[in-house]
Protein backbone atom coordinates (compact mmCIF):
# COMPACT_ATOMS: atom_id res chain seq x y z
CA UNK A 1 0.00 0.00 0.00
CA UNK A 2 3.02 2.32 0.32
CA UNK A 3 3.24 2.63 -3.45
CA UNK A 4 -0.31 3.99 -3.52
CA UNK A 5 0.70 6.75 -1.11
CA UNK A 6 3.67 7.57 -3.35
CA UNK A 7 1.35 7.82 -6.34
CA UNK A 8 -1.65 9.54 -4.77
CA UNK A 9 0.23 12.36 -3.00
CA UNK A 10 1.57 13.93 -6.24
CA UNK A 11 -1.86 13.56 -7.82
CA UNK A 12 -3.47 15.35 -4.88
CA UNK A 13 -0.91 18.13 -5.23
CA UNK A 14 -2.09 18.70 -8.82
CA UNK A 15 -5.32 20.20 -7.44
CA UNK A 16 -5.59 23.81 -6.31
CA UNK A 17 -4.84 24.68 -2.69
CA UNK A 18 -8.28 26.17 -2.03
CA UNK A 19 -10.69 24.38 0.30
CA UNK A 20 -12.70 23.13 -2.67
CA UNK A 21 -9.51 22.06 -4.45
CA UNK A 22 -8.38 20.09 -1.39
CA UNK A 23 -11.81 18.45 -1.18
CA UNK A 24 -11.63 17.50 -4.87
CA UNK A 25 -8.14 16.08 -4.35
CA UNK A 26 -9.38 14.02 -1.42
CA UNK A 27 -12.37 12.66 -3.35
CA UNK A 28 -10.20 12.00 -6.42
CA UNK A 29 -7.84 9.83 -4.36
CA UNK A 30 -10.69 7.87 -2.86
CA UNK A 31 -12.26 7.43 -6.32
CA UNK A 32 -8.96 6.04 -7.66
CA UNK A 33 -8.82 3.59 -4.75
CA UNK A 34 -12.45 2.60 -5.37
CA UNK A 35 -11.63 1.92 -9.03
CA UNK A 36 -8.73 -0.41 -8.25
CA UNK A 37 -10.23 -2.32 -5.33
CA UNK A 38 -11.96 -5.43 -6.71
CA UNK A 39 -15.15 -4.65 -4.79
CA UNK A 40 -17.41 -4.29 -7.82
CA UNK A 41 -17.37 -2.90 -11.35
CA UNK A 42 -16.24 0.68 -11.78
CA UNK A 43 -19.47 2.29 -12.91
CA UNK A 44 -20.20 5.48 -11.02
CA UNK A 45 -23.00 4.15 -8.82
CA UNK A 46 -20.80 1.26 -7.68
CA UNK A 47 -17.88 3.61 -7.02
CA UNK A 48 -20.15 5.72 -4.80
CA UNK A 49 -21.32 2.56 -3.00
CA UNK A 50 -17.69 1.50 -2.53
CA UNK A 51 -16.75 4.90 -1.10
CA UNK A 52 -19.63 4.73 1.35
CA UNK A 53 -19.20 1.06 2.32
CA UNK A 54 -15.44 0.50 2.33
CA UNK A 55 -14.18 3.94 3.28
CA UNK A 56 -17.10 5.08 5.43
CA UNK A 57 -17.49 8.34 3.53
CA UNK A 58 -20.89 9.98 3.61
CA UNK A 59 -21.02 11.66 0.21
CA UNK A 60 -24.20 13.23 -1.09
CA UNK A 61 -25.18 11.58 -4.41
CA UNK A 62 -25.67 14.86 -6.21
CA UNK A 63 -22.29 16.22 -5.08
CA UNK A 64 -20.56 12.97 -6.05
CA UNK A 65 -22.01 12.87 -9.56
CA UNK A 66 -21.30 16.58 -10.00
CA UNK A 67 -17.70 15.91 -8.98
CA UNK A 68 -17.39 12.93 -11.36
CA UNK A 69 -18.68 15.05 -14.27
CA UNK A 70 -16.79 18.18 -13.26
CA UNK A 71 -14.76 20.12 -15.77
CA UNK A 72 -12.78 21.48 -12.81
CA UNK A 73 -10.65 18.35 -12.40
CA UNK A 74 -7.16 19.50 -13.48
CA UNK A 75 -6.51 16.71 -16.00
CA UNK A 76 -3.55 18.52 -17.58
CA UNK A 77 -1.80 18.76 -14.19
CA UNK A 78 -2.74 15.18 -13.31
CA UNK A 79 -1.27 13.78 -16.54
CA UNK A 80 1.91 15.80 -16.00
CA UNK A 81 2.17 14.46 -12.44
CA UNK A 82 1.67 10.89 -13.68
CA UNK A 83 4.35 11.24 -16.34
CA UNK A 84 6.79 12.58 -13.76
CA UNK A 85 6.15 9.51 -11.60
CA UNK A 86 7.51 7.25 -14.36
CA UNK A 87 11.30 7.24 -13.95
CA UNK A 88 12.09 6.32 -17.58
CA UNK A 89 9.01 5.80 -19.74
CA UNK A 90 10.96 4.95 -22.90
CA UNK A 91 12.26 1.53 -23.89
CA UNK A 92 14.83 1.65 -26.69
CA UNK A 93 13.60 5.15 -27.52
CA UNK A 94 9.97 4.06 -27.79
CA UNK A 95 7.07 4.64 -25.46
CA UNK A 96 5.47 1.37 -24.45
CA UNK A 97 1.88 1.38 -23.25
CA UNK A 98 -0.01 -1.62 -21.91
CA UNK A 99 -3.74 -1.63 -21.35
CA UNK A 100 -5.58 -4.25 -19.36
CA UNK A 101 -9.35 -4.38 -19.70
CA UNK A 102 -9.74 -7.69 -17.89
CA UNK A 103 -12.32 -7.72 -15.11
CA UNK A 104 -11.67 -10.10 -12.25
CA UNK A 105 -14.20 -12.96 -12.19
In whole angstroms, give the CA distance from residue 103 to residue 105.
6
Q: Which domain holds residue 9?
A: 2-95
pLDDT at 12 over 90: yes
Inside any domain, residue 86? yes
Q: Is the pTM of this model over 0.85?
A: no
Inside any domain, residue 21? yes
Element (H or E) spanning 95, and its range? Answer: strand 94-95
Report how far Cα 51 is from the mean position of its chain's Cα atoms: 12
In whole angstroms, give the CA distance from residue 94 to residue 23.
37
Query: What's the pLDDT tens digit per position in 13-72?
Result: 999 999 989 989 988 898 888 888 776 666 778 888 888 888 888 888 898 888 888 888
Inside any domain, residue 101? no
Inside any domain, residue 37? yes
- The tally of domains found in the chain comes to 1
Closest CA to 34 of 23, 22, 24, 45: 45
Inside any domain, residue 16? yes
| Residue 48: predicted pLDDT | 86
Inside any domain, residue 104? no
| Residue 100: predicted pLDDT | 72
| Residue 13: predicted pLDDT | 92
Inside any domain, residue 103? no
Inside any domain, residue 63? yes
Amino acid sequence: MFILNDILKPLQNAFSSTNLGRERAHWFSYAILAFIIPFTSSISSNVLRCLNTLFGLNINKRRFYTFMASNKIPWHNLWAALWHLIPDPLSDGRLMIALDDFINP
